C-alpha cells in the first residue's frame, strides 16, 4: 500500500511583467524541511504548483490524501475586504487566490489539513475569519514573534486548549514553539476554534470544530521535527488521519 499523498503548496515568485493567460511565468520555491517532515511522518510529499485553473484545483483535491498550506509572505487584505495597513509586508495575490480556493475545496471534501504559518492565515480567511496585518510589538506584554534564534529552536511558549485536536496530537498542554511571523489570526473563521495562544494572547493555533483533521499553527513545526518530538507528531497526526480515511 502506498503512503498517503500529502500535497504541499509552494511559495511563488512571479517574474515581473511577463505573465500570459496560459503561462504563469514565475518560480516555485519550497524549503525541503516540508517534504522531509512529511516523509518522516510516513507520508509521500507532492508539491502543488500554483494555478488559477479551478478544474485543476479540484483535481488536486481528488489526487491528494492530505494538504499542507505552507508558509510565506502576508495575505493580501483585499481577500478580507479591508484596506492595507502601513505595517503590511509583501503579498502575492496570485498565490492567495490559489490557496484560498484550494483550502475551501479541501474543507468541503473533508481532506485532512495542516496549515503552517501563512497557512493559518489562509485557513482563517478561507472561512471568513480575520487577520491582524501587523502585530503590535510595542505592547507592554508583547512576546517576540520574530525570533532571531535558529528555526529548529523554540523560543516562546503556547498554552493549548485541553481536549483539543492539537493537545491530543502533541500530547501536551504547553509547547515551546519557534516564531517567524508578524501577522496572526484576529479570530477563528467559521467552523474553526482557537486551540492555542501565546502568553501575550496572540492566537498560535486554530482547528476545525468537527471530526475532520483540520489544524492551523502559527509556528513552523517542519523546522523542528528533529529537535522536538511534538513537532514530528503533528506530521504523523496528519498522515495518520489520511490513512484512517483510506
Q: How many residues bind Mn ion (CB under 5 A)?
A: 2
What the block records as the C-alpha cell of 185 is 489570526
Nearer to Mn ion, 48 or 217 (CB): 217
φ/ψ of 65, rounded to 5, equals -95, -30
Decide whether 29 or 199 has the Cβ nearer to Mn ion.
Answer: 199
Contact call for residues 207 and 192 (beta carbons, < 8 A): yes
CA dihedral (206, 207, 208, 213) in degrees, to 10, reads 150
110 belongs to the catalytic site: no
In the complex, least distance from residue 154 CB atom to Mn ion, rounded to whole angstroms: 10
Q: Is the dihedral of CA 70, 89, 121, 49 positive or negative?
A: negative
Which stretch of DSSP H or E encloses residue 29?
Answer: strand 26-29
Catalytic site residue 117? yes
Pairing of strands 156-160, 113-116: unpaired
Contact letters for Mn ion, residues 174-213 (x by CB under 5 A): -----x----------------------------------
Residue 181 appears among annotated catalytic residues: no
d(CA 99, CA 118) in angstroms, rounded, equals 10
Which residues does residue 175 pair with via DSSP β-bridges, in sequence order?
158
Contact status: 220 vs Mn ion (CB under 5 A): no
Site string for Mn ion, 135-174 (x = CB under 5 A): ----------x-----------------------------
Interface characters, 103-142, with Mn ion (x: CB under 5 A): ----------------------------------------
Q: Which is nearer to Mn ion, 95 or 145 (CB)?
A: 145
Residues near Mn ion (CB under 5 A): 145, 179
> Would you please indicate which residues are annotated as catalytic (active-site) residues?
117, 220, 222
Amino acid at each position: 500500500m502506498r503512503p498517503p499523498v500529502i500535497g504541499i503548496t509552494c511559495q511563488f515568485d512571479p517574474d515581473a511583467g511577463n505573465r500570459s493567460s496560459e503561462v504563469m511565468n514565475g518560480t516555485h520555491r519550497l524549503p525541503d524541511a516540508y517534504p522531509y517532515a512529511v516523509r518522516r511522518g510516513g507520508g509521500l510529499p507532492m508539491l502543488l504548483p500554483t494555478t488559477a485553473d479551478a478544474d485543476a484545483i479540484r483535481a488536486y483535491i481528488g489526487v491528494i490524501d492530505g494538504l499542507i498550506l505552507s508558509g510565506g509572505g502576508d495575505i493580501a487584505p483585499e481577500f478580507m475586504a479591508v484596506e492595507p495597513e502601513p505595517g503590511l509586508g509583501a503579498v502575492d495575490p496570485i498565490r492567495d487566490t490559489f490557496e484560498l480556493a484550494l483550502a475551501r475545496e479541501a474543507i468541503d471534501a473533508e481532506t485532512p489539513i495542516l496549515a503552517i504559518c501563512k497557512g493559518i492565515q489562509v485557513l482563517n480567511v478561507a472561512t471568513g475569519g480575520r487577520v491582524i496585518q501587523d502585530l503590535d510589538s510595542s505592547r507592554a506584554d508583547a512576546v517576540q514573534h520574530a525570533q532571531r534564534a535558529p528555526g529548529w529552536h523554540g523560543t516562546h511558549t503556547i498554552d493549548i486548549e485541553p481536549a483539543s485536536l492539537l493537545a491530543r496530537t502533541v500530547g501536551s498542554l504547553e509547547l515551546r514553539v519557534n516564531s517567524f511571523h508578524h501577522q496572526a489570526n484576529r479570530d477563528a473563521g467559521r467552523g474553526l476554534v482557537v486551540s492555542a495562544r501565546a502568553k501575550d494572547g496572540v492566537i498560535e493555533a486554530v482547528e476545525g470544530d468537527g471530526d475532520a483533521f483540520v489544524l492551523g499553527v502559527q509556528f513552523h513545526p517542519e523546522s523542528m521535527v528533529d529537535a522536538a518530538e511534538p513537532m514530528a507528531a503533528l506530521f504523523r497526526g496528519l498522515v495518520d488521519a489520511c490513512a484512517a480515511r483510506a
